Structure formats: C-alpha cells, structure tokens
C-alpha cells in the first residue's frame, strides 16, 4: 500500500497559500482518481482508493505543518508500512514555480513539515517537490510561502495540479515514471507530420 501525504495547514484562511500546494495536490488526486469521501482519522483527513493496481491512502494532516510527522507516523505504524511506502507532496522554494522534482531522503531545507516527518519516521521516504519559486530576498521568504497564489499563478498552477492528478497512477511505478507522465501531459510531443505526397511535377519517369 502507498501512503500519499499532502502537506499544508488546515483552515479556510490557508486554503490558497503557497505553503498548501501539497494539500492541493492531494485533493486533485483524490478527485480525479475517485477516492473515497474524506473522513478524519490519524489526526488527519484521509481517503482511500487505488492507483493502478496499488491500494492507496491519501492523508492530509490536521495538526498544522510543524506537527505533520505525528499524523504520518501514526498512520504508517497502524498499516505496518515502511518509509519507502510514503510519498510526500510539499512546496519547494528552491525550484522554479510550476516545476516538480522527485527525491528520496535528504535534508528538510528548513521546511517545518518535512522536519517533523523526519523526526517521526526518519528520512527514507519519497518527496514530490512542487516548486513555488523564491522571492529573491530571504527577508521575504516567510511572506511568500504563507502568501496566497496570485491570479497569474493560476496559469501554471491549475495545469500542474491537473497533470499530477492524471499521472498519479504512475506513482506505483516509481518517481521517474510519474515525472515522465506529468511532463508528457504538460508538454505533449508534437504530432508527426504526414509524409509529403509526390505531386505530378515531382514524379519522374523513365523514357
């Protein structure tokens, strides 16, 4: 079983925060892949479904970001999962807005949600790092992260969330397969041109 975790802060006032893009991804996957109606368990909002043939639980901690690891650890222990079964969707300052990357293990880079998860389950889980861009000034980071997405941001955010939701079944095959599927959805290959037919002027005959 896979445990997909979307990181964010609960409450209507945080819904459109950049810091809540993990929640947004989780919600998009749950809707597109026809997961169950959400219910509260493990200090979280959870829903169940399948990604391909893989059973999956989507979890949104209701503990606030800096205590996210409590909820993740509780669910992981209950289902007897390992960190390798956990995939966390979260915002990433150091990736340009609209880009995503896959990573297993490593540091938390100051992200409070990841720091909490590290403390409760270790570092060997997978992450889908969803770029929100850097404001360019470290003094503006907090306001940027906790600020709302702008109307202009929706130009890349909505297509990205749709692509993540459509490509989600590929998560069962690994991070590379998932990212490749997202990339093909966002930038499908150009259609191949039909071979040019000979015109009468192009034809040659042997006389």
φ, ψ at 90 (rounded to 5°): -150, 160
How far is Cα 176 from Cα 82, in angstroms, rounded to an integer?
20
Beta bridge partners, 50, equal: 55
Of the two residues 106 and 115, the one the predictor is more confident about is 115
Confidence of residue 189 (pLDDT cuts 50, 70, 90): confident
Q: Note if 120 is an active site residue.
A: no
pLDDT exceeding 70 applies to what percent of the chain? Answer: 93
pLDDT of residue 38: 93
pLDDT at position 166, please? 94
pLDDT at 202: 56
Average pLDDT over residues 91-95: 90
List domains and CATH numbers for the chain.
2-186 (3.40.50.1470)
Task: Please say if the pLDDT value at position 203 is more than 90.
Answer: no
Query: What is the pLDDT at residue 201?
Result: 59
pLDDT band, residue 55 (cuts 50/70/90):
very high
Task: Look over the chain and give the mean of its residue pLDDT values, rounded to a whole number.
Answer: 89
| CA dist list (Å): 127 to 122, 148, 163, 173, 200 | 13, 23, 17, 15, 59
Percent of the chain with pLDDT over 90: 68
- CA dist 89 and 68 (Å) reads 12
- Catalytic residue, chosen from 19, 90, 111, 126, is 19
2-33 pLDDT, tens digit per residue, is 999 999 999 999 999 999 999 999 999 999 99
Enter the tokens of residue 127. 């992450």
Which pLDDT does position 199 carry in this prediction? 59
């Amino acid at each position: 079983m896979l445990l997909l975790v979307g990181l964010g802060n609960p409450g209507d006032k945080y819904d459109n925060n950049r810091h809540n893009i993990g929640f947004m991804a989780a919600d998009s996957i749950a809707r597109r892949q026809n997961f169950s109606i959400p219910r509260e368990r493990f200090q979280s909002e959870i829903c169940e479904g399948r990604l391909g043939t893989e059973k999956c639980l989507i979890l949104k901690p209701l503990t606030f970001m800096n205590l996210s690891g409590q909820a993740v650890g509780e669910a992981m222990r209950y289902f007897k999962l390992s960190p390798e079964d956990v995939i966390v969707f979260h915002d990433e300052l150091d990736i340009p807005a609209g880009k995503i990357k896959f990573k297993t293990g490593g540091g938390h880079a100051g992200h409070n949600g990841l720091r909490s998860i590290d403390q409760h389950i270790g570092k060997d889980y997978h992450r889908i790092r969803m770029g929100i861009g850097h404001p360019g000034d470290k003094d503006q980071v907090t306001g940027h992260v906790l600020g709302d997405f702008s109307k202009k941001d929706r130009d890349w955010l909505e297509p990205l969330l749709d692509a993540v939701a459509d490509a989600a079944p590929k998560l069962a095959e690994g991070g590379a397969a998932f990212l490749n599927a997202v990339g093909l959805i966002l930038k499908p290959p150009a259609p191949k041109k039909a071979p040019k037919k000979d015109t009468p002027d192009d034809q040659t005959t042997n006389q």
